[in-house]
Amino acid sequence: MIIPVILCGGEGTRLWPLSRKNYPKQFLPLLSGDRTLFQHTLNRAKEIDESNLLVICNQDHRFLAAEQIRDIGINWAEIILEPISRNTGPAITLAALRALSKCDLSDPILVVMPADHFIENNEEFQKSIKYGIEVARAGKIVCFGVTPTKPETGYGYIKRGNKLPNTKSEAYEIVKFTEKPNREIASKYMKSKDFFWNSGIFIFKASVFNDEMHKHEPELLSLCQVSIEKSKKDLDFIRVDSNSFSQSKDISIDYAIMEHTDKSVIIPMNSGWSDVGSWSALSQQKKENSDRNVCIGDIITEKTTNSYLHSTSRLIATVGIDNLVVVETKDAILISNKDNVQNVKYIVNKLKYENRSEQHSHREVYRPWGKYESVDIGERYQVKRITVKPGEKLSVQMHHHRAEHWIVVSGTAKVTIGTKTTLLSENQSTYIPLGEVHALENPGKIPLEIIEVQSGTYLGEDDIIRFEDRYGR
C-alpha cells in the first residue's frame, strides 16, 4: 500500500505580509490560476494514490484544509490535527504510526511531501517518485535532491556518495547534510556537483521509519504513540492527544533521523522544484516584463527595474528603484532589498514580541461559516463586514464586554436574540445588547452580507462564550 502524506503545518513567515500564522502560504493561490500550493500538492498526491491520502495540519487550519480538499473534488482524505507545531520529526512520526495502525497486515510505504512547494514538471516528479518507491521497498529511507542553480543560503544541502548497486534509478549514499550554509560555502557546493538542495520530500516503509525513530529518538516515538493511541475522531478530523504530543521534541526529520541513519539515500530530482520560501523565490516563478519587474495588482512604475511589486488592495507607484520587493496588503506594507528577503522572518518575530495582530491575521479573516473583514476600529468601537455562506451558521454565543448592531446589506439573515428568532432582509437591522445570547444564520441560497458595529470596553475576538457550535470550536 502506498500512502501519500502531505505536511501542512508551516507558517511561511518569510512571505509575510501575504502569508500569516492564521492563513499561511500553503493555503494561498501564489502561482498559477486560483489553486493554492496545497491544492497543487493534493493533485500530485492523487496521481500517486488517491484512496489513501493523509494530511497533517495544525488544528487552527483544519477548516481551511478540509474546504480546499473538497474544492478540488477529493472526496476522502484523512486529516490528523497537531494541537501545537512541533516540526517535521513529530509530524511524520504521527503519519507513520497512523499508517501502521490502519494496515495491520501490511507495511505501507509513505510518500511524504510538504504542502507549500512548487513543482514545474509533474511528469518528471512522478517518475522520480516511482523510482523512490522501488528503492524504499528495499528498506531504504529515500530523500530527493535538487541540483543547485545558484548559491542559495536559505536551503539545506545534501552531499551524495557512491551510487547504490543494483538499482534502476540514480540512487546514492548520503555523505552529509548541511543546513543553510553561508554564501561562500554554498558557492563551493554548487561548483562541486556532488551537493544537492534538500527538497524535503521523503519515501520509506512505515516500519523502517519507526525502527530508526526507536534507535535515535525513542522518547519522541513513545510520546507520539501515546498521542495516536489517545486520539479522538472529531467530524472529519483526528485529534491527537494534546498533553503527550506537546511534550514531544521540536525537531526536524533531518536532525531526528536523516543525519544519523545508515539507511538514507538520495535520488536526484529534476522537476523544476522550488520551496517558494521567500519573495525572491516566488519572483523567479513569475513572468517578468521588459524591465525585469514582476508586477501583480495595480502597479505603475517609472525607471524601476529588477523588482517584485505586489498590490492586493490599492495602487503601488514606484520611481527610480532597483532590486526591491514591495508587497502591499490592507494592513501592512513590506519593502525589502531582494538580497535580504530571507530576513523577513525577523520582522515577524518583532511583531510577535510586540503582540501585534499583523503577525497572525489579515483584516480579512476566514471562518468555516464564511469570513469577516475589519473595516474600521477605534477606542471603543469596531466595524466589520461579515459574509455568511448559504446554509451556514455562526455559533450560539454571548459577549461580556460589547454590544453589537447588525445591518443586512444583501441576502437574508436568520437572527436569534435570547428566545426570539426573526428574519431580516436587505436594509433591515437589529441590536444585540451586551450579555445577550445570540446567533446568526444564513437560511438562503446566496451569501449573506452584513455590517456589524461593535461597541464596548473590550473588542477582542476572545470575548466569546460559545454555547452551541456546529464546527466543534
Say which CATH number the domain at 454 has.
2.60.120.10
Note whether 306 and 430 are same-domain residues.
no
Q: How far apart are CA 78 and CA 90, in angstroms?
A: 17
Domain count, the chain: 3
Claim to verify: residue 262 and residue 294 sit in the same structural domain: no
Give the lowest-confidence range in 20-34, 336-350, 401-415: 20-34
Give the per-residue pLDDT at 105: 65
| 349 part of a folded domain | no
The 10 Å CB-count burial string (b at 16+, else e) for 366-383 is bbbbbebebeeeeeeebe
Position 282 in a domain: no
Residue 236: the pLDDT is 78
- Together in a domain, 262 and 314: no
Distance (Å, rounded) from C-alpha 154 to C-alpha 347?
17
Cell numbers given for 466: 460559545
pLDDT tens per residue, range 236-267: 799 999 999 999 999 999 999 999 999 999 99
Please determine, for residue 235, whether its predicted confidence score (pLDDT) is greater than 80.
no
Q: Are residues 208 and 339 in the same domain?
A: no
Instruction: Indicate the SS3 state at residue 415.
Output: strand
Tell me whether residue 353 is in a domain.
Answer: no
Domain hosting 305: range is 288-344
Q: What is the C-alpha separation between 454 and 385, in angstroms, rounded?
A: 11
Of 277, 309, 324, the position where a domain reaches its end is: 277
- 319 pLDDT band, cuts 50/70/90, is very high
DSSP symbols for 149-175: SS--SSSEEEEEEEEPTT-SS--EEEE
- For β-strands 237-239 and 78-82, DSSP reports them as parallel
Same domain, 304 and 374: no
Domain with residue 175: its CATH number is: 3.90.550.10
Residues 223 and 307 in one domain: no
What mean pLDDT value characterizes the chain? 92
Q: Does 350 fall in a domain?
A: no
> How many angstroms separate the Cα of 404 from the Cα of each of 141, 397, 408, 429, 455?
57, 12, 13, 11, 6
Question: pLDDT digit string (tens) for 260-275?
Answer: 999 999 999 999 999 8
Cell reading at 165 = 548497486
Residues 166 and 212 in one domain: yes
Cell numbers that stand for 363 in this block: 483584516
Say how far apart CA 55 and CA 66 lie, in whole Å.
Answer: 10
pTM metric for this prediction: 0.86
End residue of a domain, out of 277, 302, 331: 277
Residue 356 lies inside a defined structural domain of this protein: no
Question: Which one of 225, 249, 277 terminates a domain?
Answer: 277
Q: Give the largest Cα separation in the chain, rounded.
A: 76
Q: Are 388 and 470 in contact (CB under 8 A)?
A: no
Q: What is the DSSP string of 277-323?
A: -SHHHHHHTS---TTS-EEESSEEEES-BS-EEEESSS-EEEES-BS
Pairing relation of β-strands 324-328 and 316-319? unpaired
Mean pLDDT of 136-153: 91
Is residue 390 in some structural domain? yes
Does 283 map to a domain?
no
The answer as to whether 15 is a domain residue is yes
Please report, in angstroms and rounded to a whole number, the separation of the first and last CA atoms in the chain: 34
Reference 26, options 50, 6, 45, 3; nearest CA is 6
62/157 same-domain check: yes
Looking at the structure, tell me whether residues 94 and 211 fall in a common domain.
yes
Residues 158 and 25 in one domain: yes
Same domain, 136 and 195: yes
> Are residues 374 and 421 located together in one domain of the fold?
yes
